[in-house]
Amino acid sequence: MLAARVVSGETKSSGSGKLYTIRGNTRFGGRDTADVLASFARSKLSPMFSTAIDTATGTDVIGQPVTFTSEIFGYAPLALQDVYEAIVSQGLPAGTALGLTAIMGGGLQTYESRAKKASPWQAAKRKTRSTR
């Protein structure tokens, strides 16, 4: 992926699917080749160095804000992370039952609904649409 991005000089937005150039005249605030290389290198760091960089910059490798809880949660075993997310998503009884399947080796994935993922801009747009 890195080689394709560097050779082609383009990167694709995972959100919109649009292609953006990483060479020459990049859009304001956009990523250039150095940013793509730095992001790749940062994603390959060990957990210890990754935590240090995250804490120093205040964001993780994908740009999410870093908190003490998020850093500690990253060191928890994956099965316990699955149990926690299932309980938060489904409530205590159902989440516990689903979490037991994860501990026993079953696959467990939780997803946010589209309504929860909507940006404040999308929520405001939907609200104005409904008032018309």
Cα–Cα distance measured from residue 51 to residue 54, given in angstroms and rounded to the nearest whole number: 5
Overall residue count recorded for the chain in this entry: 132
Give me the pLDDT at residue 116, please. Answer: 58
pLDDT at 117: 56
pLDDT number for residue 128: 46
Residue entry with tokens 């995250």: 54
pTM more than 0.75: no
> Tokens 């953006």 label which residue?
20
pLDDT means per 10 residues, the chain with 132 residues, are 86 82 78 86 89 90 86 83 86 88 80 60 50 46
Residue 11 pairs in a beta bridge with: 20
* E strand or H helix at 72: helix 68-73
Query: Residue 48 CB: number of other CB atoms within 10 A?
Result: 8
pLDDT, position 41: 92
The pair of three-digit structure tokens given for residue 15, joined into one six-digit string:
């959100």
The label of the residue with tokens 């935590």 reads 51
